[in-house]
């Protein structure tokens, strides 16, 4: 059944296919359940469909750009994606109708598409996934170009100020939006990333993996410069050679543009036999490997980006009942609380020490795992946060209806 005028939503997504972004998929499904008609424009996944309907969500995809590497690569990627997204948005506007543009960053260049539709009376929702300026600096050891950083700050400010509603993932992001973006409190709604407990159910350990070492460490996530997997590898070097803990295997699940560098670092540190880079694997395999792990790790180092981020992988570890070792970052504490032990920020030797302490204390590991699972069930899972998304949308639609009357 068609949604009534005023409740037709077009979501814009650039950095992942729809099937690979759980937050976007959960938000879209929640809005459909609340009576909205939702379309999503995104890059294609393994198979190109152009248009399909999944669980009531209309998905329009375009051929994915090549993976970007460096400033010029990102210019090409974002330029191509913006052009493709804009022309498909015209098709959606004519075919489905359109009342609200909901842009998921990065990139913040979606603000230009939103601005054109604002001129036609459409509302703009800015879903602030990442702090693009801080993310840019975190990806370059020298901090990158100051000019590019300032341009990214400007795009973020434009997005925040033009938006009729800004969605933040946590209190840290809300603070940035209010201070740097000058967004009033009443226009910001916090909708935290919440894991899907139906998807994240512990399963039987993988028997082959279980036989490979006495202690299995698990990591799932991106393999980019900002993700800190190089910190993890150096911590493993300390664990093996400083502490003599050789009956271990660290399973690293994920993909990213620094994977070749990480493999080279593992060779340099002489820890190749203690690390398994699986690359991208299906969801069921990832859950089985994490269910096998004795300890999960989150090596995101302290920096202005990571200090403000809520890490999805940490909540996934908790949902599967796993104890965590992480650096002591502000949002890590907010998320995991007693489900993690915290190493001094960016101190790889202390990170190794914290892993070793949990290796020697199976009862503590069990207790931490139970606390993590309970915290997800009682506070962090998506059903506890989707109501805030619906409330924000209902308030937006109500304001627009009031203005029309």
CATH number at residue 386: 3.40.50.2000
How would you write the pLDDT of the chain (405 residues) with one tens digit per residue? 455 668 999 999 998 899 889 999 999 999 999 999 999 999 997 776 788 999 999 999 999 887 766 667 778 888 899 999 999 999 999 998 999 999 999 999 999 999 999 999 999 999 999 999 999 999 887 888 889 999 999 999 999 999 999 999 999 999 999 999 999 999 999 999 999 898 899 999 999 999 999 999 999 999 999 999 999 999 999 999 999 999 999 999 999 989 999 999 999 999 999 999 999 899 999 999 999 999 999 999 999 999 999 999 999 999 999 999 999 999 999 999 999 999 999 999 999 999 999 999 999 999 999 999 999 999 999 999 999 999 999 999 998 776 665
Q: Does 86 lie in the same domain as 67?
A: yes
Q: Does 229 lie in the same domain as 171?
A: no
Domain assignment of residue 250, given as a range: 207-380
Q: Does 236 lie in the same domain as 178?
A: no
Q: Does 215 lie in the same domain as 90?
A: no
pTM as predicted: 0.90
Q: Does 145 lie in the same domain as 96?
A: yes
Neighbours of 222 (CB within 10 A): 17
Q: Does 387 lie in the same domain as 375?
A: no
Count of domains forming the chain: 2
Q: Does 90 lie in the same domain as 125?
A: yes
- DSSP annotation of 385 reads T
Closest CA to 160 of 148, 172, 137, 178: 178
> Does 355 map to a domain?
yes
The owner of tokens 């993976």 is 67
Q: Does 343 lie in the same domain as 302?
A: yes
Closest CA to 40 of 88, 4, 105: 88
Q: Does 164 lie in the same domain as 28?
A: yes
Tokens representing 238 are 């300390």
């Amino acid at each position: 059944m068609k949604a009534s005028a005023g409740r037709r939503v077009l979501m814009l997504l650039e950095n992942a296919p729809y099937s690979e972004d759980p937050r976007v998929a959960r938000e879209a499904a929640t809005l459909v359940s609340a009576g909205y008609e939702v379309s999503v424009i995104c890059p294609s996944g393994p198979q190109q469909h152009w248009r399909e309907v999944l669980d009531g969500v209309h998905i329009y995809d375009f051929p994915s750009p090549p993976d970007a590497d460096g400033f010029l690569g990102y210019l090409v990627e974002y330029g191509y994606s913006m052009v493709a997204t804009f022309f498909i948005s015209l098709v959606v506007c004519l075919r489905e109708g359109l009342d609200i543009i909901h842009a998921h960053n990065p990139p913040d260049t979606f603000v230009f598409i939103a601005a054109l539709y604002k001129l036609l009376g459409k509302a703009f929702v800015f879903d602030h996934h990442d702090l693009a300026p801080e993310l840019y600096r975190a990806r370059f050891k020298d901090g990158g170009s100051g000019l590019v950083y300032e341009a990214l700050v400007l795009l973020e400010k434009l997005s925040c100020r033009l938006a009729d509603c800004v969605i933040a993932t946590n209190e840290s992001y809300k603070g940035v939006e209010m201070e740097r973006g000058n967004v009033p409190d009443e226009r910001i709604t916090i909708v935290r990333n919440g894991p899907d407990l139906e998807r994240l159910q512990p399963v039987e350990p993988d028997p082959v993996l279980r036989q490979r070492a006495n202690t299995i460490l698990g990591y799932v996530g991106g393999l980019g410069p900002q993700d800190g997997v190089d910190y993890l590898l150096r911590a493993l070097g300390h664990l093996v050679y400083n502490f003599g803990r050789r009956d271990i295997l660290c399973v690293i699940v994920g993909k990213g543009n620094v994977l070749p560098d990480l493999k080279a670092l593992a060779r340099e540190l002489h820890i190749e036999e203690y690390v398994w880079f699986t690359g991208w694997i299906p969801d069921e395999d990832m859950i089985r490997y994490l269910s096998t792990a004795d300890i999960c790790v989150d090596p995101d180092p302290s920096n202005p980006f990571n200090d403000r981020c809520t890490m999805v992988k940490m909540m996934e570890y908790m949902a599967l009942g796993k104890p965590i070792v992480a650096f002591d970052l502000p949002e890590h504490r907010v998320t995991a609380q007693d489900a993690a032990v915290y190493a001094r920020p960016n101190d790889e030797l202390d990170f190794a020490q914290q892993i070793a302490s949990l290796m020697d204390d199976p009862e503590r590991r069990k207790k931490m795992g139970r606390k993590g699972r309970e915290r997800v069930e009682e506070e962090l899972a998506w059903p506890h946060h989707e109501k805030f998304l619906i409330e924000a949308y209902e308030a937006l639609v109500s304001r627009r209806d009031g203005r029309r009357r």
